[in-house]
Structure formats: C-alpha cells, structure tokens
Amino acid sequence: MITVPVPLADGRGYDVVVGGDARRQLAGLVADRLPGARRAAVVTQPALADAPWFADVDPGLPFDVHVVPDGEDGKSMATVEGLCRAFAGGGLARTDVVVAVGGGLVTDLAGFAAAVYHRGTAYVNVATSLLAQVDAAVGGKTGANLAEGKNLVGAFWQPSGVLCDTATLATLPPREWACGRGEMAKYAFLGPGEPDASLLALPVDDQVARCVAVKADVVVDDEREGGRRMILNYGHTLAHALEAASGYDLRHGEAVAVGLVYAALLARRMGRIDDDRVTLHRRVVAGFDLAAALPAGADPATLLSYMARDKKARHDLTFVLDGPDGVQPVTGVDPELALATLVDMAVDTAAGS
C-alpha cells in the first residue's frame, strides 16, 4: 500500500491509501477517524453493488446501501435530494458517516449530499475507477449538474479519508481506462519536469499515487480555488462544455484530452506559447492513447456559450492556459479568440473525416 497525505490545516488533513484491496481498510479508517459514528450510509451504483468484491465493503458499522443512477443525467439535484431523504429515513445522524463507493460521479454526488445533510456529515471515498483515483475522489470538490452546465452546484467538503482500490480497476472496460488517462495527461503538465507520457511506464499503484501527490500539493496550497487550485481545471473548460452540450460520445477524460489541446491552441493564438509547445501537447495526449480532435458536428458557438458559464468563470471568459511561467488561470479572454480557435478545430475535424 502507498499512503499519500493531504495535510490540510486545522486538523482536517487525511490520507489517501492506494493499493490492491484497499477497500478492506474501510472499517479501520472509520474507527480511527470517526470514533463517534454509529451508523453509515453507503452510496454506489447498480453494477458496483452487484460486483463480487462489493461484499468486502464494510464500514464496521450498521449501514444501508443507496444506489444512484448511472450516467451524467443522474448527477442531478434530484438525486442529491433523494440521497438526503434516504439518509434521514435511515436515521443517519450528523455524527455518522457517508461512504461513497465508485467513480467520480458517485464521489461527487455522495460528497455533496454529505456536505449539505445536517449542514455537514463526514464522508469517506472508496474510489474504484481510475478517474476517481487519480482525481475526483481527492481534494473535497463535490457537486451536481444543472441543465445549464456541469458541476454548477456543489461544495468544498473534504473527505475523512480516501481508499483507492486498484484491484477494482481490473474490471474497467477500455474506455473507462481512457477516461482516467485523460486526467493523468492533465497531471503531466502540472507535475515537475518536462511533460510527457512516462507516467504510463509505472505500475498502476505508482501512477495513481503520483497523480494524487501532485493534486494534494495544489489542494493544500489553495483549498477553495482562490488561485493556484484553478490549474487543476486544465483542459476542463472545453471538456465540460462538450459534456454539457449533449450528443457527443465522450467520456470525461476523453473530453479533457480534447480540452488540453484546445487550451494549447488558444494559448498559442494569444501569444503565450509557441508551435513547439502545441506540438508537445499533442504528443503527450497521443502518448496517453487519447484523441485530440473536436467531435464531428460540434458547433463552436454553442460550445462557447457553455464555456462562458462554466463554474470557473468570474463574469468574464476564464481559462487555464499554458504560458511562459507554466499553466495558470487567465481571466478576461477575448471571446472572439476563443471562438476562432474552436472554429479552426472544427475545420480540422471536418478535413480529417
């Protein structure tokens, strides 16, 4: 097992434990971090609740299992309300614990429900997808979608601990691996050294731990996204727009890969980086075996409208972009430049089809 600390202030720090069968450490984690808890609510998805390994998920307390829908349509305020009502019906107290078992959708939803139930109930993430393990389950950003965009409602609510069970990754289909690798490609630009795809040469436990360590460093420095933490959204502004403008067959990480290349093209158009740096972005994304083209039929104007109301916007068009000092948040981006870059990508997609 590999343990990566997230040393937050005021005694709110926690550990991320990475390794095969990490789920078996759940009862010990709950007993150690939440000794006053008397009951647990386990939140998961249908396929996971039926998986053979799910029987090992034991918080060491009496618990109920609550199943949330698959797919982004289920990541809604209605689902959050349903969870909170189920918690109340099961007698969950503020001193008890919510346990999220699954991928990023589950950790986002369960974490948000925990944040608002009794104005703050502890939760633990048992991350079972690559995307959740390298990114979504760590850092305390929780949320749900609105029709107007992804993750437009949510809360910063840190977990009491995170278990990244790499044994469960063996059951992931290829596109779920691709989804996680999109976030890993992002971390290639945020960690130390020249960006590349060398992360993939490591054992999977080390891949996850390295990404978690990069994220933990950023989160500890800027927990509530007042500045530096925004770099964790690299590639996400277009990615969220692609996901919100339904109809594209893209997983989250696949959309992030497209967003990384878009961000590089936009940065070049703004004079922040040169052609060689754009080529590096394309090479890194390809090294993670991900595509960088805008989906066929994507409408640039529609995507721009979604990006303008992305949760990172501050009454202007805000992006995370590469530049002379590395990846940074950039406010006040000219919408015409953003649109022109999307148009160029759409033309390239059409030319390649």
Set 66, 75, 141, 272: catalytic member: 141
Question: Could you tell me if 204 and 129 are in contact, meaning their C-beta atoms sit under 8 angstroms apart?
Answer: no
pLDDT tens-digit series, residues 4-45: 999 999 989 999 999 999 999 999 999 999 999 999 999 999
**Per-residue model confidence (pLDDT) at position 326:** 94
The count of structural domains within the chain is: 2
Percent pLDDT > 90 in the chain is 86
Please indicate, yes or no, if residue 152 is contained in any of the structural domains. yes
* 72 catalytic residue (yes or no): no
Question: Could you tell me if 26 and 59 are in contact, meaning their C-beta atoms sit under 8 angstroms apart?
Answer: yes
Please indicate, yes or no, if residue 203 is contained in any of the structural domains. no
Distance from C-alpha of 317 to C-alpha of 325, rounded to nearest angstrom? 21
CB atoms within 10 A of CB 274: 11
**Per-residue model confidence (pLDDT) at position 307:** 92
Domain span at residue 17?
2-171
* 81 catalytic residue (yes or no): no
Same domain membership, residue 230 and residue 144: no
* 252 catalytic residue (yes or no): yes
The whole-number average pLDDT for the span 269-287 is: 97
Q: Which of 1-5, 212-216, 227-231, 243-247 shows the lowest per-residue confidence on average (mean pLDDT)?
A: 243-247
Set 23, 181, 210, 215: catalytic member: 215
Please indicate, yes or no, if residue 212 is contained in any of the structural domains. no
Q: How confident is the model at residue 314 (pLDDT cuts 50, 70, 90)?
A: low
CB atoms within 10 A of CB 340: 15
Question: Could you tell me if 107 and 137 are in contact, meaning their C-beta atoms sit under 8 angstroms apart?
Answer: yes
Set 181, 233, 272, 281: catalytic member: 233
Please indicate, yes or no, if residue 16 is contained in any of the structural domains. yes
Same domain membership, residue 145 and residue 52: yes
Please indicate, yes or no, if residue 283 is contained in any of the structural domains. yes
Helices (H), 94-203: 104-116, 130-131, 174-190
Residue 39: CATH number of its domain:
3.40.50.1970
**Per-residue model confidence (pLDDT) at position 353:** 52
Residue 344: CATH number of its domain:
1.20.1090.10
* 23 catalytic residue (yes or no): no
* 141 catalytic residue (yes or no): yes
* 243 catalytic residue (yes or no): no
Set 66, 186, 225, 312: catalytic member: 225
* 272 catalytic residue (yes or no): no
Confidence check: pLDDT of 245 > 90: no
Q: Which residue has the higher pLDDT, 150 or 211?
A: 211
Please indicate, yes or no, if residue 198 is contained in any of the structural domains. no
* 118 catalytic residue (yes or no): no
Question: Could you tell me if 121 and 98 are in contact, meaning their C-beta atoms sit under 8 angstroms apart?
Answer: yes
**Per-residue model confidence (pLDDT) at position 142:** 97
Confidence check: pLDDT of 313 > 70: no
Same domain membership, residue 270 and residue 167: no
Q: State how beta strands 141-146 and 149-156 pair.
A: antiparallel
**Per-residue model confidence (pLDDT) at position 238:** 96
